[in-house]
Each structure stands twice: as C-alpha cells, then as structure tokens.
Amino acid sequence: MEDVKKIHKLINAYAERGMMLPRSLALIYENLREFAVAEEDGEVIGTGGLHIVWGDLAEIRAVAVREDKMGQGVGKAVVRFLIQEAADLGIPRVFALTYKPAFFEKCGFRLTSKDELPQKVWKDCINCPKFPNCDEVAMIYEVDVAAKGHTT
C-alpha cells in the first residue's frame, strides 16, 4: 500500500507527456494486485502491471521506469517478472499496446495487428484522449506456460 502514491507519480509523469494513459489513485488502489514494482534502496524505480483479459490472454501495461534509471534493465526486469507471472497463472499470451515497440522487441515481443486482439481489450480505450484514433503499436508475446515457477 505504501507504494501506491509512488506508482501513481511515476505513471502519471509519462502520461502528462502523452506516453501512456493516466491512472488515478483510485484505479491504482483498486488494481494494486496487478502491479509489480522494482525497488532500489527502498525507492520505487520502476513499475508495470499484468491485467488478465481472459483465460488465455493478459496485457502488460503501465510499464514505467524512473528517468534516472532508464537503460539499466529495470523495465526489462519488470516485464520479465510479469511474463513469469503469466506463465505461473497458465496464461499463454500477453500483449502490450505501446509507443516503444523497440523496447518490447528487446523483451521478446513481436509486432501484431490490433485486429488480431479480441474486442474486449479495447474497453479501457474509451478513457483515452486519443480514442478512437489510437496510434499505439500492438505487440504480442507467446508465454512458455511450461516454465511455471521458473524465473526468466
């Protein structure tokens, strides 16, 4: 619970620049169990969430790293942790909608068409100021669900 305001500040710093959707404190509290944080010396330096969409699909979202920690593998560690969580839950595919496809490619994701994603993934898009003209890139990752309990 003590990380909620730190997560909020980190995510919304990027949202103010149009790089991700803003998240309210209430939304973060309501969905706190979706979030993971990377910490250093007790400080939150990165975050991301795994949102389950359906039995076979989850979204990695709200990946944010404190600017002074960028390029040090923090974001990649958060994404790997979330992929492992999907594997542990038996979810075979995760996707991300992003303005940073090169980052997700380095994490093993591949480009996909937004049309390949089920309609239900777009329910959060209604709250986006760019709706219906989304310019994010859809990325997909095939999870090794046999790797339950193993760290990636």
pLDDT digits (tens, 9 = 90+) for 105-146: 999 999 998 778 776 555 565 555 665 566 788 999 999 988
CA distances from 35 to 8, 12, 31, 137 (A): 11, 15, 7, 22
More reliable by pLDDT, 148 or 113 = 113
Write out pLDDT tens, residues 38-82.
Answer: 999 999 999 999 999 999 999 999 999 999 999 999 999 999 999
pLDDT at 127: 59
Determine the pLDDT at residue 83: 98
**CATH level 3 topology of 4-147:** Aminopeptidase (3.40.630)
Task: Answer yes or no: is pLDDT of 91 > 60.
Answer: yes
20 or 122: which leads in pLDDT: 20
Cβ contacts of 48 within 8 Å, gap of 6 or more: 35, 36, 60, 61, 62, 63, 64, 75, 78, 79, 81, 82
